[in-house]
Copies of this chain bind each other. A is one copy, B any other.
Amino acid sequence: MKKIEAIIKPFRLEEVKNALQEIGVSGMTVTEVKGFGRQKGHTEIYRGAEYVVEFVPKLKMEVTVAADTVPVVVETILTSARTGKIGDGKIFVYDVDEVVRIRTGERGREAL
């Protein structure tokens, strides 16, 4: 099993989520994160002093799926998350040893 971790722009969440549902992804976990990369932060002013907000708000989306479905899931995220502007984010794929559903104790594919 593989975990697909995507760092996306917050306002794309709906689109990505819906796209994943359509291809049958049963679940996912989302985290509020701050990103740092090519997309630079911005400068704010507060009472005469400037300060740079270097980190950009992003969402981290984690989806664990069966290894064979990775390509299609990645493809789906790519198309649904893309705006074409700097800062669209990244997708990381990791290997997952094991998955267990807490409620039932099911393991592997059944647990997803």
Contact = CB atoms under 8 A, between A and B. Distances in A.
Interface string A45-89: 000000000110010100010000000001001100111111111
Contacts of A93: 96-99
Given A26-B38, A29-B60, A38-B27, A78 B94 contact: no
A42 interface: no
A91 B102 contact: yes
How many monomers of this chain does the complex have?
A: 3
A99 B103 contact: no
B96 A82 contact: no
A38 B36 CA distance: 30
A22 interface: no
28 contacts: A2-B97, A3-B94, A6-B102, A17-B36, A27-B36, A27-B90, A28-B35, A28-B37, A30-B34, A31-B60, A64-B92, A78-B100, A78-B102, A78-B105, A81-B102, A82-B103, A83-B103, A85-B103, A89-B101, A90-B100, A90-B111, A91-B100, A91-B102, A92-B99, A93-B96, A93-B98, A93-B99, A94-B96
